[in-house]
Amino acid sequence: MQLAYWLCDNYLKDPLATLIVENTHLHILPSMNPDGFALRRRGNANNVDLNRDFPDQFFPNNDDIKQRQPETRAIMNWIKQEHFTASASLHGGALVANYPWDGSRDTRKQYYGCPDDKAFRYMASMYSQSHYNMSLSKEFEGGITNGALWYPIYGGMQDWNYIHGGCFELTLEISDVKWPKASELLVIWKQNKMSMLNLVASLVKTGVHGRIFAADTGRPIPGSLMVKGIDSKINASGTFGDYHRIIAPGQSYEVVASMEGFKPKRTRVMLGREAMNLDFILDPDGALKGTKPLRNDCGCSCNDDGASNKPFLLREAYLWLYLLALFSLLALYLLFRRRMASRLAAHRHPPPK
């Protein structure tokens, strides 16, 4: 709640608050388990641990939809509906940034990284290093940990969000005290403030962002995006065709956009410390060779591999409206000059009485 208050109070005053408000859709869920919070226990009103109630990739324990708790169903529907890029779940009882996987196939306590292990380590490290003292932990190197290595769980929200929602979730243990006193909450907020702000801002400042279009219509399409060598994909939105791919900076990647009924396009990028804008125009499977690339508002077209590194909007109608408005203003200006000249001439040479 303090994060929400701070963003509202500091919008247009603080550059970080302004960046977040103007460039992200930030959703804040005060509590996933309001009944358990009121009862001071892990379980909900049915005494079910919600962070063990999600479908699991290794075991079918929670595959029965009828047995799923209402809070779990609500979260699953929310994640699929909103098309989140990343999320963070706040917990108490330790001081560490936890990342997937949260368990392993053979249930042993071991390091079990997910396909986007580098990206998750980057996100977790950013949170830990921005924290008051998390990165100084003697128990966790750098203040981060792989869930399966530290505290394996099955049926958790973190892994489900990543697998089924394309949402990169961290589990943030933000207090060694499981139930801190109300008087300590403001101190915990101050210790986590910059970590939370930098984590949200990183979704704008880093990674690859863009849109996917159909070459024959110029309209956005809900294609998929993959990075070669990383066995996971994210989907662009159905309305705007926009995607936001989190990948660790400092190396080269081959990015591939695809969609059923279209030819895939790929390009290689060198991702530095700043985010990169990368748009794709996909040709239909039966498209003729030599199809003229669609123009964007920068006056440039996609390169040979179908990707453009500049923002792209297919709105040629705007150009005609702009020219029409320009000519209208010019005509009004000339008419004004003519009338002024006539009045001036009449003042200098008044008609004889």
Coil, helix or strand at residue 312: coil
Mean per-residue pLDDT, 225-238: 96
Q: Is 0.75 surpassed by the pTM of this model?
A: yes
**Cα 200 from chain centroid?**
9
Query: For 4-41, what is each residue's pLDDT tens digit?
Result: 999 999 999 999 999 999 999 999 999 999 999 999 99
Give the whole-angstrom CA distance, residue 163 versus residue 252: 24
Q: How far apart are CA 114 and CA 61, in angstroms?
A: 21
The catalytically annotated residue of 22, 71, 139, 173 is 173
Sign of the torsion angle spanned by Cα atoms 201, 205, 206, 212: positive
Average pLDDT value for the chain: 88
pLDDT digits (tens, 9 = 90+) for 288-345: 444 444 434 333 444 444 454 444 344 444 455 556 666 677 777 777 777 766 666 6
Do 152 and 100 form a contact (C-beta atoms < 8 A)?
no
pLDDT in the model for residue 167: 97
Cβ neighbours of residue 183 closer than 8 Å, sequence gap 6 or more: none
User: What are the structural domains of the chain?
Assistant: 1-203 (3.40.630.10), 208-284 (2.60.40.1120)
Does the annotation mark 173 as catalytic?
yes
> Is pLDDT above 60 for 352?
no
**Residue 237 in this model has a pLDDT that exceeds 50:** yes
pLDDT of residue 61: 83
- The mean-pLDDT minimum among 55-64, 118-127, 294-303 falls in 294-303
Interatomic CA distance for residues 143 and 17, integer angstroms: 25
Please state, in angstroms and rounded to a whole number, the distance separating the CA atoms of residues 211 and 278: 7
Per residue in 153-208, pLDDT (tens digit) is 999 999 999 999 999 999 999 999 998 999 999 999 999 999 999 999 999 999 99
